[in-house]
Structure 1
Amino acid sequence: MNSIQETWVYLNASPLFHLTLTMVAFQAATWLFEKGGRNPLLNPVLGSVIVIVSVLFVTKTDYATYFEGAQFVHFLLGPATVSLAIPLYRQWDRVRGSAFAIGASLLTGSLVAILTAVGTAWVFGGSETLLASIAPKSATAPVAMAISEDLGGLPSLTAVLVIVSGIFGAMFGPLLLNLIGVKDWGARGLAVGTASHGIGTARALQVNETAGAFSGLAMGLNAIATALLVPILWGLFF
């Protein structure tokens, strides 16, 4: 029994263990997603989070220790984001032809995301710190956390809200778009990318390349719009 405990302590302290845990959890969640007919409710990111958090909770492992091993995956986010330029390049003619519509949609979507989040939290008595943390939740995590910190929010809480927004959008966004009859892949991608940043974009790329291209564009532009709009709106209301 002692030898098993000693082995577990050694593995848990090894950075390689947490990298392996991340990869295995995602592969298992992806397998379940594929077996379930790519049902959006079986989102691989959500499945991975549940598995990893459960393991860390049971083993009483803090996040810093986990991240020491999983940071290689974090590093790959940069190249993965840059690679989104490839499907966007293939759709560039269509993007140029729809520039005004894209701009109007992005501005509207960004404003709605900010105002509905802050308004809902305010109605339920949220503190100013909570409002500052939730305001940029539809932008990609690094941008949202920087905005939150600048306004006096909690970047760690903002990161959680960003992830929740992304997972929720990836799971229910396509269902909502089907319900209201949005069939154009560009419009669908733009909506998902604006509301659900990288996680939504990953889902859009799985479904259709055009949707993925417009989602990646929306993710980047919404980050800029959020960084500009949130401080302005915060100054007006607070």
Structure 2
Amino acid sequence: MNADVWLHAGQAVVHHALFPLFLTLAAYAAGNWMYRRAGQSPLVHPLIMAVAIVIIVLKTLGLSYHDYFESTRFLHWLLGPAIVALAVPLYGELKQLGARWRALMAGLVVGSVVAAVSAMMLVLLLGGGVALAKAMSTKSVTTALALVLAQEIGASAPIASTIVLVTGLLGAVIGPWLLPKLAPGDEAAHGMAYGTCAHAIGTSKALQISETCGAFAALAMGMNGLLTALLLPMLMAWWGH
């Protein structure tokens, strides 16, 4: 009898509307703990760990992604204010931004175009299909924007979000090794590269490096998302797919 009571209580908790929200927050807290224990290694990024934990729990409990998504829609809404809040560190770098805005914007535009076009060309050259090429074109924007763009251009949203996650992780791993060699001591340029190529995960890594690096990464992430959202549908229309 006691076992039945505990079973029913557990089912009531799992199927409660707030359980997915609790699971998300608990998974991120666990991922953040693992991240600190691993010495802040990008390979153990809290976002990566949280995603893995949520997937394992959903599969184990037999919960659908649709129900999980609907119950955590509030968190998706918070992505907007969170991204806008990244403008706060940029405010302190207005002087440097004003002095270098032409070079920084030119690099941003080139980076946005090259990120999308080169990814698509690489897929097609290696024998991948059009659907995969479309999903790859969204690799350097945030997950929230990639999901919207994927629907607009006819790409697979789950594949696009996975590619975005892998891109951000690679940027956070390779960036600290590569960028100091390409532009020694230029934290503004490093930040622009992180934000343009590795979106939110790269920006998170840039904020750990310095406030300047994080500020320019936040700017690049937002501007790259805007440019990609404007250019990608036009590119697809020109391509004829």
Q: TM-score, normalised by structure 2?
A: 0.89
Structure 2 portions without partners, runs of 5+: none
Cα contact 2:171–2:198 (8 A) shared by 1: yes
> Which range is displaced more, 64-73 or 203-212?
64-73
What displacement does 1:79 show?
1.9
Structure 1 portions without partners, runs of 5+: none
Q: Give 1:17's aligned residue.
A: 19
Q: Distance in 2 between matches of 1:94 and 1:104?
A: 16
The 1:183/1:202 distance shift into structure 2, 3 A limit, reads same
1:120 aligns with 2:104: no
Q: Give 2:75's aligned residue.
A: 73
CA RMSD between the two structures: 2.1
What displacement does 1:202 show?
2.1
What displacement does 1:26 show?
1.2
Q: Give 2:54's aligned residue.
A: 52
Q: Distance in 1 between matches of 2:114 and 2:236?
A: 14
Q: Give 1:227's aligned residue.
A: 229
Q: Distance in 1 between matches of 2:32 and 2:145?
A: 28
Q: Which amino acid aligns with 1:206?
A: Q
Cα contact 1:43–1:171 (8 A) shared by 2: no
- Match of 1:98, SS state, is helix
Cα contact 2:183–2:190 (8 A) shared by 1: no
* Structural mapping, 1:10-159, within 5 Å: 10-159=12-161
What displacement does 1:91 show?
0.7
Q: TM-score, normalised by structure 1?
A: 0.90
Cα contact 2:43–2:169 (8 A) shared by 1: no
Q: Distance in 2 between matches of 1:196 and 1:26?
A: 20
Q: Which amino acid aligns with 1:11?
A: V
> Which range is displaced more, 178-187 or 209-218?
178-187
What displacement does 1:103 show?
1.2
Q: Give 2:171's aligned residue.
A: 169
Q: Distance in 1 between matches of 2:70 and 2:235?
A: 37
- Match of 1:61, SS state, is coil
Q: Distance in 2 between matches of 1:5 and 1:39?
A: 39
The 1:14/1:171 distance shift into structure 2, 3 A limit, reads farther
Q: How many residues align?
A: 238
Q: Distance in 2 between matches of 1:66 and 1:172?
A: 33
Cα contact 2:194–2:203 (8 A) shared by 1: yes
